[in-house]
Structure 1
């Protein structure tokens, strides 16, 4: 032990000893005892307390030998003063035979040891020095350990996580305040019990067997557990358990640290609810309705029965909203949603598609087409009757009218959910165009419609080859009202019908290879136009749509390369707009093509953002340059708070992913001001400029 303490001292770094003694004979004995010992030391000697104080101001010592019977000594007061100024050096008191009581008092006052002068023995002095040094180290270690224990205790007490400590048998010995706050139990309630007091019954016996097996083999276990509070409520926790072992390797304690996951689970549910449900009514939103409709369509195609979808629109809602304010309008929509839901079957699926538009899936209407139609009509008539009854909003009666578009499905094997919903919307639009009856079915088998579509398709093919297409541009403005780009659009100038609405021929083209021909025509003419602008030093980016059908073709990339090569256009000036439909079938192939085109220098824009199934997933995975806020979210800004919330969310996503944003369908000064107030958002819409022949807009460029 003595040698262990002294191992740090050597001839190169000796122990520094200070002797305070006025008797030369006693001082000589001390010198002799140290010289003949195994202690490597140097020694300074002083003979008065005054000299003692002066030397302490100048030097530090490892140990002090102090005679308190000096002429200028104040006894124990001198010792107390020395302890304060000795820089933690241990003090050994030298005393005479008749001073034992005084020596014991010195020990009580803080001296490390005492020695009787002239009676040091063979190694009494070095042994006393070693013990004094050892005591100093032990006291320092104890102080450090005490500090650590105090800090650990504070951490445990202040922790937000529940901390529980058991003995080796699993009996609870200690819990922290967070445990009591989370569980509702007091420390007194649980100390002496086992953690079984918290079990919810949701985990099986086998679960706990595996837990203890893992803990026994590895010393740790972590995972999620459902526990039960004192009041009986269940709550999820993420728990980490570790075993504490002694030097022999035997478990002495188990420590459990648990985080309450209740708030996290609630937040997850809130996010899911925001993503799937309409904030105002609590009904499914448009995206969720599309997903449910896809499932219903697949079920009908597999099981052979008929289902139906109803879109209903509220008439006069906007009048009430404008006359009585948004609060009354919101209250009315909630009341309408409740009334519809109360009059539907439990299996029927209800959603809010837009401001004043609702949709219903009738999942099983039987196998007879006529009977299915009757049942769907009965539902619509029942809803029509209950919706025409007055609604009491803010103690005032309000009456509304409703119109219903009905579509029965499936109609053919290749039909999609978008087709089904679009057909119901077509039926509803027929009412809006002036039909007297408020309920209309989509009539799929109308011969005239089929003939019209065939004729239109034939004429469009001829129009592409006969140069009947026209390139139109719609400008995109920044917040300073400067044109920063264009969207390229195609128009068809029929030799007999004049300009054909793109809403008439684009959907038709998308159902065949005609859309590829249109895309190719647009690409060539947009590149030629950019080439002219580059030569005039007036080039701005031009965006154009690429359809999923065209994007899937093997010759897409080679065709784009050839077009760029022929025109010499900087690829960075060409922005390809794609929709989420591009990725629904084979996202990996689509992503690979995107990366190859991006490597060429082209940029991609995600069109109609927020109207599809999983735009956020694609934004994270794929390298988009910009996203376009769909005009359906802009139409009711800034009055529709749901749309405001959705647009704010989209802008937040864009900021976090560092994407440019284009707002489509900006038609009013209020909408323009809404986006101007939210930073560098490019705007496109009738408020800034309608689509016009390309040369018209180019003439206005500086």
Structure 2
């Protein structure tokens, strides 16, 4: 601890271990007095080793003597309490400066207290809090501690271009800047000598940021090696966070003060009502004009204050109009308390929170006022969700950062649970937002009842909640995972428990994503993103699922994002192509073709549709992709049918396209632009259209059918297969899925299914196309049972559209005979 050998330690004066630039003279006097008087001593004091950083030690001094004789020597026992002292200091700093009473002090006082607090945590250091001025590029001194008059005088004479270099760099880069040698650093060429003369050799500049806005910088100056760099970094980060909060609240107070000043100087009477219509405040002008004081009307409902000449019914109607969601603006005859009437111009304005919920009404009678709020309310607004009272995202991230720092320092594992209510939008849509809000309040209380006092249940907004579980164990292990999963199960049960609102019983369930921490150098935002990714996986697996984050999930999300980005690029830069696969009749002659999309990636080569179509569906790109495919096939249809016999072309259309507003107009526009004959086009849809929302889809199909387009059910037999609904659709054909064709043999289940589909189609007067025909036996089976058309590798693989159209427009006898010979 002392940094010297025993023989060297004996030559060193005892008090010299405690003597340094930051020593407390009173403590040195205590030690000296205890030695002179022979008294024991128990104190915490700064310890200066021969080499290395200054430490805090717990010193216990015991005199060594026999009987009543004066002590001959003293035994000193040292315990290194640097880390514990540092932890306590940080907690005390946060607690003292983030207390609502402390936050209500003037900003200068808050910053000066912060600077002194930093100095107490970092002996032999100095601190300067620099604030960005209103112009956004000049820096001003907000508070200092430990700096000499020489440096402060130099600082006062600085021009904008002479501002401390590291601070400007930290602000421009939005990241801390460390200088290990002030004397040789180009960044300190202007004013570094003032710091060096004070014994400082290193500096750390940490930017102050709030909600993405740069506010200033914390500069800490110290002697290289005298302090642990990790300690300096952590103190700087905490100081920057506290400064950001103080500046944000200062801005809020300034805005409120400005509004308050304007209200009090206005010559109009103002009354503020809560969302239920109770008067909460009036101004002096209101009392002067109406005669009604606060004791008369504050706390009473507006309907009780009939001060008009319109009678009870008229007053009640006006109250309803004033408390409407659109507010009120008009003239009204009111009665003063003394009984006299007067005409007032009344304007009632609705105040809403960030979610659109009405919180207050401001009624102005020739005045404009603001609703004054206490500093405690400002704190509540800044850190808590106004509806549920739970911590909001801002407070959650602050606590999560502290849990991360504590977990890394003390090697303790914590967990983060991201909870999202499944299909909660349906509650709002069916029962209204008031019921939805009430449900969220009930749920908030249930979640809070299941966690420990040190845990945090936060609401991020909407139907998203996060549960932070700090200090679970010493390491990430299966036991920790099981513990967190058990709690997640309890949370899920609490969500699923029915609750009654307005006489109706409601049911909810939630999906959850979980991540454990710390695993590395993740930030609070990183951990939220990990839990969100795990939640996304839960949603994909099914409603009500719980999933732990795994490193591979991030890679999959990144791969999805890369594929989406590349697909958008492909659409814009011609990397997508139309292929055609022929459909043949019973004689083996090509009579139609299906359009298929192929993607030739510049670096990855051909990417199969099974990979990029789901991506397009999920990210919404299927709308743009589907329009491009339809337009390209229309152009092909025009070419082929203008130069030879008619070749019907089939195009796959997704459910998302049918749900797109304006889909029919888009199709009509493309047909007009290309001049394609809709009678030669067949739109293939899946059986998912036969689901619960079939009615809208059938209406769209009917409009498209009136344009002349034909419809086919693709992969028939693999989905709903609701025959009653099938009859309602304007179809011309059914397509048998290849899964039924692959195992066609006499007496097999697939054969029976195929024969049944052929029978259904015949009874409904629909033609049938069999997909996936790959063998002669399959072709013979289908041809013998009257299948209208066949499609598959046995006849032809998908080919570039140009190749197939050339074969169609310039057929060879040999080619035709070859196709026929495969069937006969």
Q: Which has the higher contact order (CA 8 A, sep 6+)?
A: 1
**TM tier, smaller:** 0.3 to 0.5
Q: Normalising to structure 1: TM-score of the pair?
A: 0.38
Look at both structures and tell me which one has the larger radius of gyration over its CA atoms: 1
Q: Normalising to structure 2: TM-score of the pair?
A: 0.33
